[in-house]
Amino acid sequence: MFENLTARLSRVLDSLRGQGRLTEDQIDTAARELRMALLEADVALPVVKDFIEHVRQRALGAEITQSLTPGQEFLRIVQQALTETLGSRPEPLNLRQQPPAIILMAGLQGSGKTTTTAKLARLLKEQEKKKVMVVSCDVYRPAAIEQLRIVAGQVGVEVFPSAVGQDPVTIAQNALAEARRQYVDVLIVDTAGRTTVDEAMMKEIAALHAALDPVETLFVVDSMTGQDAAKTARAFADVLPLTGVVLTKIDGDARGGAALSVRQVTGKPIKFIGTGEKTDRLEVFHPDRIAARILGQGDVLGLIEEAVRKVDHEKAARFAEKLKKTKSFDLEDFREQMLQMQKMGSMASLLEKLPGGAQIQAQLQHIDADKQVRRTIAIINSMTIQERRHPDLIKASRKRRIAAGSGVEVQEVNRLLRQFETTREMMKKVASGGMAKLMRSMAGRLPPGILPRR
Most confident of 86-95, 256-265, 341-350: 86-95
What CATH number is associated with residue 45?
Answer: 1.20.120.140
Tally of structural domains, the chain: 3
Q: Is 194 annotated as a binding residue?
A: yes
Residue 305 maps to a domain: no
Query: How does 218-254 read in b/e, with b if 16+ C-beta sit within 10 Å?
Result: bbbbbbbbbbbbbebbebbbebbebbbbbbbbbbeeb
Please indicate if the annotation marks 356 as binding a ligand. no
Do 289 and 360 reside in the same domain of the chain? no
Are the C-beta atoms of 135 and 189 separated by less than 8 Å? yes
Interval 158-172: pLDDT, tens: 999 999 889 999 999
Sign of CA dihedral 21, 25, 31, 33: negative
- Whole-number Å distance between alpha carbons of 305 and 292: 16
In a domain, residue 274? The reply is yes
Measured distance CA(188)–CA(136) in Å, rounded: 9
191 is in an annotated binding site: yes
41 and 141 share one domain? no
Residues 221 and 359 in one domain: no
Q: Are residues 273 and 393 in the same domain?
A: no
- Is there a binding annotation on residue 66? no
Residue finishing a domain among 51, 86, 121: 86
Q: Is 114 annotated as a binding residue?
A: yes
Residues 67, 58 contacting (CB under 8 angstroms)? no
At 101 the pLDDT is 93
CATH assignment of the domain containing 269? 3.40.50.300
- 218 a known binding residue? no
Q: Is residue 71 marked as binding?
A: no
Q: How far is CA 250 from CA 46, 66, 134, 267, 436, in A?
A: 22, 39, 24, 20, 35
| Residue pair 90/286 in contact by the 8 Å Cβ criterion | yes
**183 inside domain:** yes
* DSSP annotation string for 238-264: HHS---EEEEE-TTSS--SHHHHHHHH
Binding residue per annotation — 248?
A: yes
Q: Do 279 and 348 have their domain in common? A: no
Is 304 within the bounds of a domain? Answer: no
Provide mean pLDDT across the span 305-321.
64
pLDDT per position as a tens digit, 127-183: 899 999 999 998 888 888 999 999 999 999 999 999 988 999 999 999 999 999 999
d(CA 411, CA 405): 14
Ligand-binding annotation for 330, yes or no, is no
**How many C-beta atoms surround the C-beta of residue 69 within 10 A?**
15
d(CA 275, CA 352): 11
Q: How far is CA 185 from the centre of its chain?
A: 27
CB 135 within 8 A of CB 191: no
47-55: average pLDDT: 84
Give this prediction's pTM. 0.67
Mark whether 82 and 117 lie in a shared domain.
no
Which of 269, 297, 325 is a domain's end point? 297
* 190 appears as a binding residue in the annotation: yes
- pLDDT given for residue 358 in this prediction: 52
Mean pLDDT across 367-391: 84
Q: Which of 193, 220, 189 is nearest to 108 (CA)?
A: 193
119 annotated binding-site participant: no
Question: What proportion of the chain, given as a percentage, has pLDDT over 90?
Answer: 23
Q: What is the pLDDT of residues 395-416, one digit of tens each?
A: 999 999 999 998 989 998 998 8
Residue 33 is predicted with a pLDDT of 79
Residue 306 counted as domain residue: no
Report the interhelical angle of 45-59 vs 257-266 (nearest 10°): 90
Is 325 marked as a binding-site residue? no
Asked if the structure places residue 316 within a domain, the reply is yes
108 known member of a binding site:
yes
Whether residue 198 sits in one domain with residue 142: yes
369, 361 Cβ separation under 8 angstroms: no
Residues 280 and 414 in one domain: no
pLDDT band at 250 (very low <50, low <70, confident <90, very high): confident
For residue 428, what is the domain's CATH number? 1.10.260.30
Question: Do 59 and 29 belong to one domain?
Answer: yes
Is 299 labelled a binding residue? Answer: no
In this prediction, residue 4 carries a pLDDT of 58
Top mean pLDDT of 225-229, 240-244, 293-297 is at 240-244
Among the candidates 22, 57, 86, a domain finishes at: 86
Residues 350 and 401 in one domain: yes
Residues spanned by the domain of 421: 311-445
Determine, yes or no, domain membership for 406.
yes
126 and 177 inside one domain:
yes
344 vs 154, 221, 307, 308, 311, CA distance in Å? 19, 24, 7, 10, 7
Residues 117 and 259 in one domain: yes
Write out pLDDT tens, residues 8-27. 666 666 666 555 566 777 77
Residue 95 within a domain = no
